[in-house]
Amino acid sequence: MLLGYGSAMIEPESGYLLSRVATLRLGKATIRLPNVLFCETTGRDEYGNMFEALLTREAISTEKTQFVAPRNEMVDGPRGAETAERLVTMPNFIPFSSLIGGIGRNYEREREAPVFVAVGRGGELSAELEGVKAGLVDLSNAAEIARDPYDFILSVSTARDAIGGRSALYAPGVANPLNLALLIYSGVDIVDSTSSDLSAMAGEVFVDGSAWNASVLGEGVCHCPACMSRKADRALWHNRYQLLAELNRCRHAIESGGLREYLEARATSPWNSELLRYADEDFHSYFERHAASAGITITASTEHSLRRPEVRRYVNRFTGRYMPPVLKVLLLVPCSNRKPYFMSKSHRLFASAIRASSNPSQVHTVTVTSPLGLVPEELETVFPAAHYDIPVTGRWSMEEKKRATDMLDTLLARGNYTCVVAHLEDEREFITEHLAHKGVDFVDTSGGSTRKAESLSRLTDELGRGSGEERIHWEDRMRMLLGNIAAFQFGPGGRKLLDGTRLTGRYPNLRIFRGDRQLGMLTGQRGVISLTLDGAEAICREVPGYCVNMGDFDLVGNLFAPGVLEAGKDLRKGDEAIVMRAGAVEAVGVASMSALEMLDAAKGEAVHVRHLTKRAAQA
């Protein structure tokens, strides 16, 4: 992928949501993202080779990439942005000049220079950054904005929304080794060491996840080069090495797909914790728009995991898109360590107990779990239901319980179950209490241990009692369940895919046919339905959020970003995407980028095509 404006380009290598490991080219200067600009006020380069970039007041002699800080235009007069090899000179500006009641609202600056210095905050930034085509946007007031984590995430997200992924975002004066991961996660590409340096001067040092009094460095808590050898300015250099180490750790976390888990572990200081809470709760869609629908494993081991974008999206889709199948018995079971659940030993035991009952076709198995709440059997293979890990203590927090019971209420309100069977273990107590409290008739079959032979035979008996005589043909039953997968994948319009179809194969590998034409296939490997061209034709008008409108040219392979005219707003990396050309299906495949990236990118694969319309010309 390649993003940018010609003279300023960003080439991402890997990314997670808004964070990215990338190369930024600003004219002749090149810098890796994310990065920290280390302050150099002595006039010479004091830093070792492991440091990559410096922030200077005037250009100094160095082999590193240096950014010359913007100056106050009132004091030093105007100066435009300039770039040279390993040198970026940021433009002068008037600090704080648009902050209040419109002061300086008419402050005009060059909008297409390599670097643009923004002075506003919060919502003001969307107007200030409108039409800005700069490779780097400096959020000059970031340090003041960051006094309130909510203001900070509001400002960063507003700026990011305005500039898209095509510009790098620089937030001066805010970073320290403790909050760096959060800053990067929020969408900041470049920070500097000013705040961390200043902390050191005030006697505060950062040691991994903690901020401590500098005297702690005498106690053998750190073995960085500064702590091992330096006598003068030890705290200052210690903080700098910490910041550098944290930067490298964040890059690794992005590359290995574990940034979210890494920053959850960092969300221990009040500021970090508040920022993450606001980010997850109030800025969910800002992050979710960039969250892939496949390809990562989620480790949900902190309280914050419950609110991470992928998990919340699952819960929102359950609430917004899911309709329970018309079956008589709702069977609630505990989750398993192995995913998808039906592969696990415990769930195979449950499955044999169900098969042994008199009418298994009427049983709908739903797993009670955290952080996803409830996972109906048909969604077991769908991301992230088959792609998460949790610490198994059997202890449920209030928030976890509430999520599961809220979803259970939704399920019961929408479903037509005539019988509820709870075959549960650690979650037995709060689920049965909740059912009783709601006045729902239920049978408790586990006695607290779900795998004992007597529990399982009790389960078989009770399922038989509740499921009645009316048998549902497996194909009709499976069609309902596949309809749910399609709805989960594409929204309610996706259900149309199953209208008048017949199915072949064995779960989780099922082919969908209408007449003799195959519309699609569920595969255990992907966990969702892959469409054929006929399948795409059948639903393309129902699911505009998953269609990509391409330009009027003959597609010969994969669709690349420059060929995209419009991208359905619901598309995320990993989603099934229908490629449309002038209103007709041209191809179908898997989105390689989110909708926003397809529009931002100048290069790169947008849709990995599986099926392409055959043309007479090609034949």
Partner 1 sequence: MAVTTAPHLSQPLLRSIREAASTERARAMKDLDPYSYVSSWTEEETHNGSDCSALVMILATKGCSWALRSGCSMCGYTNDSASGATDESIWVQYGKAVSALSEQRIVKIYTSGSFLDTFEISHGLRLRILSDLYPRVDEIVVETRHEYITRQNLESISAFRDKLVLAVGLESSNDAVLNYSVNKPSNYAHFLKTTKLASDIGFRIKSYLMLKPPFMSEGDAVNDAVRTATEISQHTYSISVNPTNIQKDTVVELMWRKGNFRPPWLWSVVEVLKRTHSLDKRVLSKPTGAGTVRGAHNCGRCDTAVMKGIADYSRHRRLETLESLDCGCRRVWEAEMRLSSLSQPFFAVDYRKRIAERGVGVAGI
Residues that bind partner 1 (CB under 8 A): 39, 41, 55-57, 69-75, 77-78, 93-97, 99-108, 140-144, 146-147, 172-174, 176, 179, 192, 194-195, 197-199, 201-204, 211, 213, 269-271
Q: State in angstroms the smallest separation of the CB of 200 from partner 1.
A: 8
Q: State in angstroms the smallest separation of the CB of 60 from partner 1.
A: 12
> Considering beta carbons, is residue 55 or 424 the nearer one to partner 1?
55
CA distance 495 to 484: 7
Quote the tokens at residue 568. 């359905």
> Considering beta carbons, is residue 159 or 300 the nearer one to partner 1?
159
Could you tell me the CA-to-CA distances from 228 to 19, 196, 219, 287, 614 in Å, in that order? 33, 20, 12, 41, 68
> Considering beta carbons, is residue 157 or 176 the nearer one to partner 1?
176
> Considering beta carbons, is residue 192 or 542 the nearer one to partner 1?
192
Q: State in angstroms the smallest separation of the CB of 218 from partner 1.
A: 16
Give the H or E element holding residue 241.
Answer: helix 234-255
SS3 assignment for 442-511: EEECCCCCCCCHHHHHHHHHHHHHHHCCCCCCHHHHHHHHHHHHHHHHHCHHHHHHHCCCEEEEECCEEE
Closest CA to 34 of 49, 15, 9, 59: 15
Q: State in angstroms the smallest separation of the CB of 30 from partner 1.
A: 21
Q: State in angstroms the smallest separation of the CB of 175 from partner 1.
A: 9
Left, alpha or beta for 4 (phi > 0: left; psi -120 to 50: alpha)? left
Per the CB < 8 A criterion, the answer to whether 379 and 507 are in contact is no
> Considering beta carbons, is residue 191 or 443 the nearer one to partner 1?
191
What is the phi/psi pair of residue 269, to 5°?
-75, 155
Q: State in angstroms the smallest separation of the CB of 238 from partner 1.
A: 14
What is the phi/psi pair of residue 223, to 5°?
-125, 35
Give the H or E element holding residue 531.
Answer: strand 529-531
Q: State in angstroms the smallest separation of the CB of 24 from partner 1.
A: 19
Q: State in angstroms the smallest separation of the CB of 267 from partner 1.
A: 12
> Considering beta carbons, is residue 6 or 270 the nearer one to partner 1?
270
Q: Is residue 158 exposed (0-12), middle (13-18) or buried (19+ Cβ within 10 Å)?
A: buried
> Considering beta carbons, is residue 12 or 70 the nearer one to partner 1?
70
> Considering beta carbons, is residue 95 or 524 the nearer one to partner 1?
95
For strand 605-612 and strand 559-560, is the pairing parallel, antiparallel, or unpaired? antiparallel
Per the CB < 8 A criterion, the answer to whether 404 and 427 are in contact is yes
